[in-house]
Structure 1
Amino acid sequence: MILRELTSTDEQKYLAFVKEWTEAGASKITPSSVYLNGLTFQEWLVKLEQDKHSEQNDFVPAETLFLEVENKLVGAVQLRYKLTEGLVQIGGNIGFGVVPSERGKGYANVLLAQSLEIFQKRGFSKVMLTCDKINKGSKKTIQKNGGILSAEYLVEGTIVQRFSIELAATKNSE
């Protein structure tokens, strides 16, 4: 099991990942950064690299990583290293999703736990996440990883919950 960036050799794995979401009837894939949005796979990889430093319009520096288990992409996460007002309302620092056939196997917990480690190594003391109130799986995963409910509000007819997670201080290895 490895959390990693995709490379030019991962196109078939990526296409299988997207196909599974669409065949399961999912109305959207989470995180939304996994969409090609009209780009070729190779162009999309370049965009993901650029996203790490982008701060144009409403975009913030972010990276998209995939969880691979036994040669299959089972989940994805977008790590956002700054927040806009919009991301404070919906999205937060971390957005993650697991393909429908692999849910309930602990992969969302792995995605979030490893994401928190990355934020901690980057010097963050706290991160913020949101999820729809009806998304019991995400809520459970967030809370299992230390998420504390800090707000609940209505956005376009959907009740959204905002959680914060305090990150342990990075310990010196001395």
Structure 2
Amino acid sequence: MFGVIATALRVPRAIVFATWRTGVSAAGHVLAGGGWVPPQVGELGVVVVFCVAYALGRRERGMGVVLAATATAFQVGGSIECGMPELIAPTTRLHIAWLEAHAEWGPGFHEDGFGLLPSDAVDSPTGFAAWVARLLDEADQAKAADADGVRCAYRWIVEGDRVLGGIALRYGFSEFVEWAGHIGYGIRPSERRRGLAGWALGRMLDEARELGMDQVLVVCAADNVASVKTIESHGGVLEGIRGTRFGPARRYWIKIGVPGG
């Protein structure tokens, strides 16, 4: 009877602890600039330390209460998981989430990888649906390529229901590809410094390989140190620097080979 009462008394403490650890994790995420420390990682670390301390204190029964509260907070039915990014095709399901990312960029030519044109009316559901349909059409093998014979596969970098960035693979060669490159990408400001660009670039290089491409051209602003490091980490070899309407740009070629080659 005493054990039941003691365990019941630990429940409120577990709830307080769950609330506290969530706040600590959120603060860590903000201090990291919304960058490389997702909230779940901080939460998991605090939970592990707390549970070890609980075990060393010989309060094994209380650990069960803490773990139950943790599972509830993560809403995964009794297991602890961390969110993982993935690449998906454009979808109307994430209209609101995409607009949030779009607003974070602000005005200007920053959203590489999304295929957004000045004429795209993405604020309204109808306009957004039309834009998404156009993006999907550009990658449809059953439909005609553009006038230059170039197709483009667009992917959004998402984590749960949040849009973190976008990346595009253009296959074929045209005047546009000559100055913009085969692959273009952009990461929303609050999610940079997490390695997302490098991860997404690697995935798109795999897709290019599957399409039979043996090398791709990747272009970035000459002063974009982060993109330079990302491209060079995937074997990018500098061809040179050229002037563009947006300023000097570094041009890299990445050799990727073909499957089974």
Equivalent residue, structure 2, for 1:47:
134
State the distance in 2 between where 1:157 and 1:58 align. Answer: 23
**Matching residue of 1:65:** 155
| Amino acid across the alignment from 1:105 | R
What residue is the counterpart of 1:75 in the other structure?
165
The number of aligned residues is 169
* From 67, 88, 96, the counterpart of 1:12: 96
Task: State the TM-score, normalizing by the size of structure 1.
Answer: 0.87
User: Counterpart of 1:11 in 2: which secondary structure?
Assistant: helix
Q: How high is the TM-score relative to the length of structure 2? A: 0.59
Question: How big is the shift at 1:56?
Answer: 3.2
Aligned counterparts of 1:140 and 1:117: Cα–Cα separation in 2: 19
Cα separation, partners in 2 of 1:43 and 1:166, compared to 1, 3 Å: same
Higher strand proportion: 1
Are 1:152 and 1:162, in contact at CA under 8 Å, matched by a contact in 2?
yes
C-alpha contact 1:31 1:78 (8 A) present in aligned 2: yes
Distance 2:260 2:241 in 1: 33
1:33 to 115, 121, 138: 115
Equivalent residue letter for 1:12: I
Q: 1:152 aligned to 236, 241, 260, which one?
A: 241
Q: Deviation per CA, 1:56-102, whole angstroms, max 9, x where unpaired?
A: 345721021101123311110111011212321x2111000000011
CA distance in 1, matches of 2:155, 2:137: 14
Cα separation, 1, equivalents of 2:165 and 2:210: 22
In structure 1, what is the equivalent of residue 201 of structure 2? 112
Larger proportion of helix: 2
Q: Is the 8 A contact 1:75 1:111 kept in 2?
A: no
Bigger Rg over Cα: 2
Show CA shifts across 1:33-60 (max 9, x none): 0457225111111111221255334572
1:157/1:117 CA distance change after superposition, 3 Å:
closer
Q: Is the CA contact (8 Å cut-off) linking 2:239 and 2:253 kept in structure 1?
A: yes
| Counterpart secondary structure, 2:218 | strand
CA distance in structure 2 between the aligned counterparts of 1:61 and 1:54, rounded to whole angstroms: 9
Q: CA deviation at 1:171?
A: 2.8
Structure 2 unaligned runs (5+)?
1-84
Task: Determine the structure 2 residue equivalent to 1:3.
Answer: 87
